[in-house]
Structure 1
Amino acid sequence: MKVLTKEEEQAHYNATVKGGTIGAVVGTAVGGLAVFAANRRFHTFRSLTVPFRAFLVASTGTFVSILAADRASYRYDLATNPEKRRFIEDEEAKEREFHAGKSNLQLAKEWAEENRYPIIFGFWVTSLVGSFALVNRSPLSASQKIVQARMYAQGATLAVLLASFAVEGADAAKGKGRWETVKVLDPNDPTHKHYIEKKIHHERYAGEDQWREMVEAEEARINERKQAAKAKAAEVD
């Protein structure tokens, strides 16, 4: 972990404040334009109080300011911390290596497994809209149509949710998410066409394997020093 000096802390603070200020200006301008357009377009919006409309503009500026300040802080940290930048680059390289030997179907399946809950929520919204469009043709009252459409959507979503739980249980039983043998490009193959099997460890949280990588790097340095010492001793003899 890099220890910052007072000058570096101040520079980091200035970069964060600058990014947040720019974000606040842009967010407030966008919020103001949106409120102005909605005020001219919708009668219901014009019935809102002035303080509430001002709150909408200010909250938009605040939200964008927080995001911009966070991004500015992150960019400054990467620009001034080469160790962290190398770590992120190594993680991205490992991610590319991990996905290199997989088919599009496998990648799609993994993406669906990692994003199963957003998919379920999207499926619920889609099924609700589709169910309402389906029952809208029936000679029922509006309230009955809404209730019936919601029942159809809940039934379909429950089926998808149960299927998701079944997949999640199967993954847990197989120990997926820890160690997995995958096919990657052979680094010793100049044609980059030959694949070899490699055991990959999936991190449960970011940085879990950092200690392992530090130990491997230290062992490599120790071996290099031993080899250098042996070579020097051989020259003396």
Structure 2
Amino acid sequence: MKILTAEEIEAHHYHTLSGGVKGAVAGVIISGLIFKLAPLRFPAFRPAKMPWSLKTAMFITPPTLLTSICAEEASTAFEQQMYGSNATTNAAVEDHRRWKQLPWSEKLIEGVSSNKYKIIVAAWAASLYGSWKLVDRDPIMTKTQKAVQARMYAQTVTVVLLLGSIGLSMYEEKQHPDARRLEESRRWEKVLERAEEEEANAKKAGKRTNEDRVNAKIFK
């Protein structure tokens, strides 16, 4: 049985909480889409006429479900990263320790950089919906013209976000010019460490007697 250190417990808690927060955000978005778009597709579905207890239950179900699922998945992924067959000894703990030492500005930049494509896709979808709601107020344009206009607005926002992501990458490269080299060096260190562990285990297994090998087998 492995005794967990305080850092391992803290890192596991952080990964689990992060997964739960992501699931909660996704669940709230899904609930909002259900209450907003479902009545348009199914006119019989009218949340405004439902009792508040039923509306509350319907609204909190997706966030609650996704929070538990994403938190469990994040916890399992952390355990696999720490204790899986291909895991290095303290990779997850070292990454969490490095993250804790970063200032809030660097955490924000790194978080945005790590999720920039998700942010771009989400912003594109939100801008497409928002621009459609804005253009749809025009009583003169046809539906086709409104769709084209809304798409142009959304594409403009997407181009701006892509340029921003390029600028962010250039800023990170300027702030940390040796980041790629250090990451490559760290990756090779992990490979060598894993090879040394496998070699040590092989030597240890080679020193066992036949009686030890027989006793180590599990017969069902």
Which interval holds the TM-score relative to the shorter structure? 0.3 to 0.5
Whose strand proportion is higher, 1 or 2?
1
TM-score by length of 1: 0.42
Whose helix proportion is higher, 1 or 2?
2
